[in-house]
Amino acid sequence: MRKTRLELARIQASRQAIDPLFLDSPLYPCVGLGADLGCAVSLKIETVNPVRSFKARGTEIIASLLAASGQNAVVCASAGNLGQALAWSGRGRGLDVTVVASRSAPAVKLERIRALGAGLVLVDGDYDMACERAAAISRERGIRRVEDSVDVETCDGAATIGLELAAAAGQLDVVLVALGTGALASGVGYAVKSLAPEVEVICVQPQGAPAMTRSWHARRVITTDSTDTIADGVAGRVPNPDALADLLVVADDAVLVAEASIIEGMRLLRDHAGLVVEPSAALGVAAVLEDRDRFAGKRVATVVCGSNVDMDAYHRWVGTAGTLVAPADGRGTRGR
Amino acid sequence: MRKTRLELARIQASRQAIDPLFLDSPLYPCVGLGADLGCAVSLKIETVNPVRSFKARGTEIIASLLAASGQNAVVCASAGNLGQALAWSGRGRGLDVTVVASRSAPAVKLERIRALGAGLVLVDGDYDMACERAAAISRERGIRRVEDSVDVETCDGAATIGLELAAAAGQLDVVLVALGTGALASGVGYAVKSLAPEVEVICVQPQGAPAMTRSWHARRVITTDSTDTIADGVAGRVPNPDALADLLVVADDAVLVAEASIIEGMRLLRDHAGLVVEPSAALGVAAVLEDRDRFAGKRVATVVCGSNVDMDAYHRWVGTAGTLVAPADGRGTRGR
């Protein structure tokens, strides 16, 4: 494998810095979902922990390093989940945490950041605007700024998920992973390709926020002017060149999916696994829905990466009808 | 502790028979739920596995024993979850599994039993009627009948949850556990009281299916003529005397809760943890809702024991409004 910013030994060692609450998350076959999708589906569940997303794996590493070096404050921009995770990890280590987020981020994410004791700064604009403000606060106050996918620890944290997936590689053909800034995808991808190169790593992004996917295919950074997707957790416009460089090494493909497929993926995860997830967490299922032939009969794992979603929005998107079921007579019926 | 049918060394050894898929389930603090309930709440999640309930811990032990002794068929009565679990455990070990259930059991539970390859026999009547039919099939075919709470392996399986809770006992004051036949409650209770006697074990049952709770308080078997609860997983009329005897040793209390509290508990688990659960899994939260003073400021763990629920029924019960939130101005509003 060509060189990336990631290193296997460092990732393996980083597990020591992460509270076991966030490690060794469930990975199991979801039989009903697989039957619906025409392949064997395993779910890697990153939502049953105190911050309801995978992000704490990275913030645990960062907060440990900061506390060990005697620092007492930190700032990050966040689409919502990184902020919660940094608030959790910082609180446990006596760090003063400031989170910058878009005023339009899901209310539930903003509430939970506040509930975990972080200072919350809201900007009129999107995630990339929040990044600019976080950079300014970092300069003014002389404190460390955590940047998703730019700080390699955020990739290392995600890569510990990849270690756990690689341990089950004998039962897997494909890993599907959400693509936003690239931290999750490059981390998971690096660990999987390092330990189980035969397993295919496919990144999935919404059509409405395609900057990183377009960049991956063009092999150079391509930015977009705006985003238009319900998957707020992966809605960036400005890919980081280092994250792209890593992703070019570790990903086998990057695909885009429609909003309707994301919503159907959320519904399937609710009905087959009892999980209310945020849109980003359904990207993997959406990818299978859009290209069933590609995955037919394969053993597919997807990372269910977060469940911080406003319930009103969730119900507006997913509704209350059950998953389409095909009974023996062949007529599809919604709801049982 | 007075003698029970359970033995610590046997329970510890039984972990070896259980697929790791079902062991070491997540246990984590749910901060938002705790804030709502006025105590520190940890969730023990038994729903993120292939059968979406804790029951496979017991059926793994039983199916291993049957396969080792050369048997090739087994029958059980089930409210729905035991049948799924036995179907899963039997399938992996070449056992022909027959499940007897009430025709009025949740359709989704019956479908999943069939999907896992078990033979399904439906009876016109309730769980206790299904038990009678399973006994008849066992006699006619000369095959082993698995009885929840009567077969001590079902208690041993549940007790492995108790081992995992006891390992966190330093952070716990109370364990809340659903009470039906008594297998879950006596198993969890035995392991917790054996290893961490200072932790209080409280069983929770619906007011509409109170037979075991009444029996526990009367210290003798009390049956009821009928049940009236949405919590189908714990709706028995005829307590087993051996299960009661064990429960009298290991439980500190047994309480009854109203249907409205169960529904509010389901809503809180959805909104704070992103989990769609079946009614039985919300009994612990319901118990706190009904007696906040008792639990105020305590460190409470509750076993989220199953998520096999018909989505239509779920939405009819829980609705789509969000959890009641008290904003700064003191007015409560539903939905954010």
Q: Does B137 touch chain A (CB under 8 A)?
A: no
CA distance A109 to A37: 31
Q: What is the DSSP annotation of A18-80?
A: S-GGGSS--EEE-HHHHHHHTSEEEEEE--SSTTSBTTHHHHHHHHHHHHHTT--EEEEE-SS
Q: What's CA B232's distance to the chain center, in Å?
A: 11
pLDDT digits 0-9 by tens, B141-160? 999 999 999 999 999 999 99
Contact criterion met (CB < 8 Å) for B336 and A26: no
pLDDT value at position A323?
A: 62
Q: Which residue has the higher pLDDT, A219 or B327?
A: A219
Task: Give the CATH fold of the B56-146 domain.
Answer: Rossmann fold (3.40.50)
User: Is B47 in the A-facing interface, judged by CB distances under 8 Å?
Assistant: yes
Nearest CA in chain A to B274: A276
The ranges assigned to domains in chain A are 8-53+152-318, 56-146
Flag whether residue A18 sits within 8 Å of chain B, measured between CB atoms.
no
Question: Is B273 close to A49, i.e. CB distance below 8 A?
Answer: no
B107 touches chain A (CB under 8 A): yes
Cα dihedral A127/A131/A136/A142 (nearest 10) = 130
Kindly give the parts of chain A with pLDDT less than 70.
Answer: 322-336
Name the closest residue on chain A to residue B306, using Cα atoms: A274
**Average pLDDT, rounded, for chain A:** 94
Q: Compare CB distances from B271 to A107, A275, A311 and report the shortest one's residue.
A: A311
Q: How confident is the model at residue B320 (pLDDT cuts 50, 70, 90)?
A: confident
State whether B270 and A108 contact (CB < 8 Å): no
List residues bridging with A76 in a β-sheet.
A99, A146
- Beta strands A333-334 and A324-325, pairing class: antiparallel
Return the pLDDT at A127. Answer: 86
H/E run at residue A205: strand A200-206
The DSSP line for B152-205 is HHHHHHHHHHHHHHHTTGGG-SEEEEE-SSSHHHHHHHHHHHHH-TTSEEEEEE
Q: Which CATH class is domain A8-53+152-318?
A: alpha beta
| Percent share of chain B, pLDDT over 90 | 91
The strand ranges marked E within B5-55 are 27-29, 40-45
The phi and psi torsions of B330 (rounded to 5 degrees) equal 90, -15
Proportion of chain A above pLDDT 90, given as a percent: 91
Residues of B in contact with A109 (CB under 8 A): none
ipTM: 0.94
pLDDT on residue A322: 65
> Chain A partners of B43 at a C-beta cutoff of 8 Å?
48
Is the pLDDT reported for residue B91 higher than 90?
Answer: yes
Q: What is the pLDDT of chain B when averaged over all its residues?
A: 94
Residue A273 at interface with chain B, using a CB cutoff of 8 Å: yes
A89 touches chain B (CB under 8 A): no
Give pTM, 2 decimals: 0.94
Distance, first Cα to last Cα, chain B: 49
Chain B residues inside the 8 Å CB shell of A274? 47, 52, 275-277, 307-309
- Work out the minimum CA distance from B315 to partner chain A, whole angstroms: 7
Asked if the Cβ–Cβ distance from A107 to B336 is below 8 Å, we say yes
pLDDT at residue B333 tops 80: no
**What contacts A277, CB < 8 A, 6 or more positions away?**
A47, A266, A269, A270, A304, A306, A307, A309, B274
A107 touches chain B (CB under 8 A): yes
pLDDT at A333: 37
Q: Does the structure show a pLDDT above 50 at B248?
A: yes
Query: What pLDDT score does B126 carry?
Result: 87
SS3 content of chain B, % helix, strand, coil (to 5): 45, 20, 35
Closest chain B C-alpha to A43 CA, distance in angstroms? 9
Mean pLDDT of B183-210: 98
Query: For residue A28, which residues of chain B lie inside 8 Å, CB to CB?
Result: 21, 48-50
| Two domains, one topology: A8-53+152-318 and A56-146 | yes
